[in-house]
Chains A and B, each alone.
Chain A
Amino acid sequence: MFEFQMADIMPALPEIFLAGVSLLLVLVAAFGGETARNARRVTRMAMGGILITLLLLVNSDLVITSAFGGMFSADSFASYMKVLVLTGTFAALGLSLRTDGDGDINKPEYSLLVLLALVGMMLMISADNLMALYMGIELQSLPLYVVAAMRTNSLRSSEAGLKYFLLGALSSGMLLYGASLVYGVAGTTDFTGIAEALSGGALPPVFIIGMVFMISGLAFKVSAAPFHMWTPDVYEGSPTLVTALFAIAPKVAAISLLLRLTYGAFGSIADQWQQVLIALSIASMVIGALGAIMQTDIKRMMAYSSIAHMGYALAGLAAGTVAGATGVMIYMTGYVFMGAGTFAIILLMRRDGAEATRIADLKGLSSTHPLPAIGLLVMMFSMAGIPPLAGFFGKWYVFLAAVEAGLVPLAVIGVVMSVIGAFYYLRIIRLMYFEDTDAPLDPHIPMANRVVLGASLAVILLFFAGLGGLLAAADSAAVALIVFG
């Protein structure tokens, strides 16, 4: 066991600060009353807290990057990924600021729960120990179960929350079971310790079982096929604001964890987990691409789209090299902004004040809402991986890593699936541009949506210009990830 020291505070300062803000907001939420005004106040304060956390994170100049006896690691990889989850959550919260939003979500506790989940995500990203890993995951998941069911008068929302909870609990169980087996073999919960124990020699089969269980549990969290079944239902059933959140931040945290676990703890036995990740990657790309084609609801389509995106990211992960980790990071960077931009528009889809989430509701959007239509057009082309937009560079780098690692068939399957995937992204463009509307959507575009869309558009369109710097940052972050060898 370790002793608590002041030196442990500094690396974890952003998390500690954010946790403090959440506790403070509990009071604000409780004493401010159940009004929409108070809800907005809490949201604004939460967003302010996130901004300060971002500043703390970016400005930190750490000598010691490890804290709490090696449980928590604040290396450059963690900083990179944390910036992504903070930005994504900031955008998702910002989108909930609209004054005409649906009443069910206008509760003070919404932003509070999101903030707590965010602390969990940041812990996940920094986790360097099986215990910290599990704690982070649960801290992230529990608030998210609640927000999924936030719309208490909607049966679908309650169902989504329940489904999310049951399957999330199942995956946590698998993860925990796997972790216990890994611990049993390695004799330590520390990632570095596990890596050292593994480099020794022959692996007992029980360890492989444990590792597969752990990867499967995390595959649930990133909604990689075949552990994706909950995703479309939860995406569809949750309030759209919550879906926006789900689609962006938790995926980044879970992928980071997967990266840290495979590259760090299991780094020396890459050939063992590579097979598992290749299978997960191919399954996700195929199921994501084919599943999305049949959807009529845009939230369900986005769910399948995210499954496919995770498949691409896993292709980079499967490479098991520094280049692979860099590719995943570039991919997730584009993914966060594409998700934020897309949901900024999906949240606009209202007709007479009620949500309209059928894909067909986008018909003729270009003539009634020219700017959101252009925005969604760019987002869709980017998701389809058409250059010179951000989505292309993510694909370029993950497939580059895959080919480099000799996984040429994986890359070929990936690019072919991306053509099939292009079909359903194009379908959205078709509806917006090639067809005329029969029932136009509400004309009002809230400021929050404009800002989020504008910022995401700028990033997606100018991604190529900043790629050099981004790549350098991701590259050095990826190096930090490798514990061993």
Chain B
Amino acid sequence: MIGNWPLLTIITFLPMIGVLFLMMIRGEDQVVARNARHVALWVSGFTFVVSLALLLNFDPQAPGYQFEERGDWIPAGGISYHLGVDGISMPFILLSTLLSPLAILASWKAITKRVREYMIAFLVLETMMIGMFASLDMLMFYLFFEGVLIPMFIIIGVWGGARRVYAAFKFFLYTLLGSVLMLVCMLAMYIDAGTTDIPMLTSHGFAAGMQTWLFLGFLASFAVKVPMWPVHTWLPDAHVEAPTAGSMILAGVLLKMGGYGFIRFSLPMFPLASEFFAPLIFALSIIAIVYTSLVALAQSDMKKLIAYSSVAHMGFVTIGIFTLTEQGVAGAMFQMISHGLVSAALFFCVGVVYDRLHTREITAYGGVAAVMPRYAVFFMFMMLASVGLPGTSGFVGEMLVLVGAWKASSWVALFTATGLVLGATYMLWLYRRVMFGKVVSPEVEAMERISRREVLIFAPLTVLVLWFGIYPASLLDVMASSIQLILDSAAAGGAIVLAGR
């Protein structure tokens, strides 16, 4: 029954219907603001419900694309409207549809000016994110991939902190520079293959010399998104200045675009180059893990600390992907989903206390656990998940990456593991300084306990982190056959190109 519906199109563009509603709201500022919040929440909530239908009808055994939709767009150029999901894009779509309503809920009280415009930006952002993961056409992928910049630039720039302009520009220009280099590579691929269809490009088999250049061009774009050292510097700025919900989405979904791109494009389309450049990626990732972990230790701003920890965690992801092993890629995928949940929750943790005290300085806090016990439980749980405690989703991803890394090189595994130790150090230290000890000031003493709304945001994230930690197979099974397919086609593609030379 539901199989006949253009489900992916519906999910992708549902938020845009919300945008239309938002534009039609009239009345006094207060009324507009209230209605805008409700419209945005209900629309994104409904989108999430519809995306569950996607999950229920998804067959994890089938390795290829499902729910495919294809229509003419630019027939003359071999460019079509092509959507579809496999085990790799599926979890990301759900992550996007889940985090969007939560982020809107998180900005319920924090955003008071221009609420309507804010909600419009968020819904546009949601469409762009879902569309990007659902695209099976390279040009469409690029449209959504870069379209994300527009709402995010506005969100950081209008509703951000004191240095928001600087952060928004840095975010925009870094990401744009990365993606235009990818664009040139896409042009070259299109000319070489005569199509922008992703499945067809995957089986095209680009010449070995060309793969090198294409890989580097895509690397420029994805490395900025991930972000990898040394092009990560936009991230702490963007996170610190963005409003809480912006940080949640940025860390939760947008950073995953880079990792997703590596898996969707770099591995299967440029297998030879991927193998050739893997040591470079390992080196950059290890530097990212060790260096940014040390930098995180030195932070006095809570958000900045978590932002740097994101860079380190994403280092695991890139290592996992380029081990080119099943465990490594699965671990990277798992780590991305887990980090999407955990980092969104952690940024919300910061947002909760920031809403009360309007500072993110670690030294301003202390003894919060005594005042807000329930909050302390959520924060601790997420902190432990971030550190990779067994039983949480963080553990599974890191372990799988380490297994994959060990297969690739014991040295890589060794250095990667140091990240775990450093990560535990800065997170535990952060938690101790903020939560334990004596209550430092009357302001902290007077902090409100967390509200039902805030619990409502934490609850699904906590449940999922725990669920994936205890029963990782539920997620791994969805991805397994697709990952296998990608690695197989990469190996086959590499062999064909080599044989042809």
A interface residues with partner B (beta carbon < 8 Å): 366-367, 370, 377, 381, 386-388, 392, 396, 399-400, 403-404, 408, 411-412, 415-416, 418-419, 422-423, 426, 429-430, 433-434, 464, 467-468, 471-472, 475
Of the candidates B77, B168, B177, B190, the one whose C-beta lies within 8 Å of that of A434 is: B168
Asked, given contacts A430-B165, A433-B154, whether A416 binds B142 with beta carbons under 8 Å apart, the answer is no
Of the candidates B73, B76, B143, B191, the one whose C-beta lies within 8 Å of that of A400 is: B191
Asked, given contacts A404-B191, A464-B143, A468-B73, whether A419 binds B176 with beta carbons under 8 Å apart, the answer is yes
Q: Distance (Å) between the CB of A192 and the closest chain B CB? A: 28
Tell me if B165 and A468 are in contact (CB < 8 A).
no
For the complex of A and B, 7 pairs with smallest distance between CB atoms: A415-B180, A387-B143, A388-B143, A403-B187, A434-B157, A468-B74, A419-B177
Q: Is B173 an interface residue (CB 8 A)?
A: yes
Residue of A whose beta carbon sits closest to that of B146: A387
Q: Distance (Å) between the CB of B334 and the closest chain A CB? A: 31
Q: Give the chain A neighbours of B142 by CB distance below 8 A.
A: 387
Asked, given contacts A387-B146, A403-B188, whether A468 binds B176 with beta carbons under 8 Å apart, the answer is no
Cα separation A464 to B143 with both chains bound (whole Å): 10
Cα separation A472 to B176 with both chains bound (whole Å): 30
Tell me if B184 and A408 are in contact (CB < 8 A).
yes
Contact with A along B76-98 (1 / 0, CB 8 A): 11000000000000000000000
Asked, given contacts A387-B146, A399-B183, A408-B184, whether A426 binds B153 with beta carbons under 8 Å apart, the answer is yes
Tell me if A419 and B184 are in contact (CB < 8 A).
no
Tell me if B177 and A471 are in contact (CB < 8 A).
no
Asked, given contacts A412-B184, A423-B173, whether A386 binds B150 with beta carbons under 8 Å apart, the answer is yes
Q: Give the chain A neighbours of B146 by CB distance below 8 A.
A: 386-387, 392
User: A-side binding surface: helix, strand, loop or mixed?
Assistant: helix
Q: Distance (Å) between the CB of B484 and the closest chain A CB? A: 33
Of the candidates B73, B157, B165, B190, the one whose C-beta lies within 8 Å of that of A467 is: B73
Tell me if B184 and A399 are in contact (CB < 8 A).
yes
Tell me if B172 and A415 are in contact (CB < 8 A).
no
**Complex A-B: 23 CB contacts under 8 Å:** A392-B146, A396-B183, A399-B184, A399-B187, A400-B190, A403-B188, A411-B184, A412-B181, A416-B177, A422-B172, A422-B176, A423-B173, A429-B153, A430-B157, A430-B168, A434-B157, A434-B158, A434-B165, A434-B168, A468-B72, A468-B74, A471-B74, A475-B76
Apart from A377-B154, A404-B191, A426-B172, what 17 extra A-B contacts exist at CB < 8 Å?
A386-B146, A388-B144, A396-B187, A400-B187, A400-B190, A403-B191, A404-B187, A408-B188, A411-B187, A416-B180, A419-B176, A419-B180, A426-B173, A433-B158, A434-B157, A468-B75, A475-B76
Tell me if B164 and A434 are in contact (CB < 8 A).
yes
User: B-side binding surface: helix, strand, loop or mixed?
Assistant: helix
Q: Is B169 an interface residue (CB 8 A)?
A: yes
Q: Distance (Å) between the CB of B257 and the closest chain A CB? A: 14
Residue of B whose beta carbon sits closest to that of A472: B76
Cα separation A370 to B29 with both chains bound (whole Å): 14
Q: Give the chain B neighbours of A416 by CB distance below 8 A.
A: 177, 180
Q: Give the chain B neighbours of A403 by CB distance below 8 A.
A: 184, 187-188, 191
Tell me if B183 and A433 are in contact (CB < 8 A).
no
Residue of A whose beta carbon sits closest to that of B177: A419
Q: Give the chain A neighbours of B117 by CB distance below 8 A.
A: 366, 370
Q: Is B149 an interface residue (CB 8 A)?
A: yes
Cα separation A400 to B138 with both chains bound (whole Å): 14
Cα separation A426 to B230 with both chains bound (whole Å): 25
Tell me if A471 and B77 are in contact (CB < 8 A).
yes
Cα separation A321 to B76 with both chains bound (whole Å): 16
Q: Distance (Å) between the CB of B353 and the closest chain A CB? A: 26
B206-251: which residues lie under 8 A (CB-CB) from chain A?
A: none
Of the candidates A433, A471, A472, the one whose C-beta lies within 8 Å of that of B157 is: A433
Q: Is B472 an interface residue (CB 8 A)?
A: no
Q: Distance (Å) between the CB of A218 and the closest chain B CB? A: 27
Residue of B whose beta carbon sits closest to that of A395: B183
Q: Give the chain A neighbours of B153 by CB distance below 8 A.
A: 426, 429
Q: Give the chain B neighbours of A434 by CB distance below 8 A.
A: 157-158, 164-165, 168
Q: Give the chain A neighbours of B177 by CB distance below 8 A.
A: 416, 419
Q: Distance (Å) between the CB of B383 and the closest chain A CB? A: 34
Q: Give the chain B neighbours of A392 by CB distance below 8 A.
A: 143, 146
Q: Give the chain B neighbours of A386 by CB distance below 8 A.
A: 146-147, 149-150, 176
Contact with A along B156-194 (1 / 0, CB 8 A): 011000001100110011001100110110011011000
Q: Distance (Å) between the CB of B64 and the closest chain A CB? A: 27
Q: Give the chain A neighbours of B180 by CB distance below 8 A.
A: 415-416, 418-419
